[in-house]
Structure 1
Amino acid sequence: MTEVKDVFNKIKPFIPRDAKGLFLAITIAAFVFSFVFYLVFYPGTKKLFLFESLDNTDLYAESRFIPRNRTGSSLEYFCDELLLGPLSDRYRPLFARGTGMRAFLKKRGGTLYIDLNEKALFQSGISSEPKTGCRLLEQNIRKNYNSVDNIVITMMGREIYGYTD
């Protein structure tokens, strides 16, 4: 029993005696609890995905989370998600269904190399044209990742469109 009194006497100076102090203590405790809760259960980073509309040539954006617990880099996961296409059925995928990355490499200087498989060369009924798909892929990466300076997109190991923005 004396141990409990000793602990209480030690923390007694920190317990506020008036309503304002109590309110401030509760607010600070709630903030600290919320911050710790946020750090523990942080879902990931929010990224913007740009796609063409099926109805016109305007660009539309989808917002998605890149999960914190993933395999590979955030940029590689982002590119994989982008190649899978939009969540909405009113937007065009960048490339034909089944398009994937054969190789993905980011060098220290900020140069990104992406090699797409043969399916990227073909346009399906609803996908963007391959040149437009490459332009949108580059635009999406530049908008979401400032650390990438140069982007080299190849298909089956060969550079198809030589362009720089």
Structure 2
Amino acid sequence: MPTTSYLHMILLLGSLGAALGVTFIRLRAANKPVNVMKIIMPPLGMSTGFLMFLAPMMRIPVSWALCAFLVGSVVFAYPLIRTSRFHSINGHIYLRRSKAFVWILLLLLVVRLSLHEYIESYVTTFQTAAIFFILAFGMLLPWRISMYIQFRKLQAHTEIPIPKNG
């Protein structure tokens, strides 16, 4: 069935493109100060993806969704939380670039794609997409909550420079 194989290839290329895009964006983000909106917008933006479950073909059992969310939260979020640290320079807060971050993202991508192939052999392509969307959200949400908490703690201890009139 050519339609399914094309859809599969599009999803695979989309996953690879998204992973490379996230890696590139994260590396560039380390050069600019962070603010609360930059931390909370990704999970808020991604949450609109839950509208996919309005389509009957995307629906999965609640137990599968909970399992995917837990795997994302516990297994996938942990290394990202451990490698995301902030530091303050001249009253601005920056995300500290970790040498391990890119390698962790690539490793997570390989694991995710391997799991994707395995799971897709048991359920439909649409259900697989739904499971991995929830897994990704489960990874993103705790990571960003952790970043937000870290940011607020550092922000409370960071002195904002007062501009000199001159």
- TM normalised by structure 1 equals 0.26
Structure (1 or 2) with the greater helix fraction: 2
Choose 1 or 2 for highest CA Rg. Answer: 1
Larger RCO: Structure 1 or Structure 2 (Cα < 8 Å, ≥ 6 residues apart)?
2
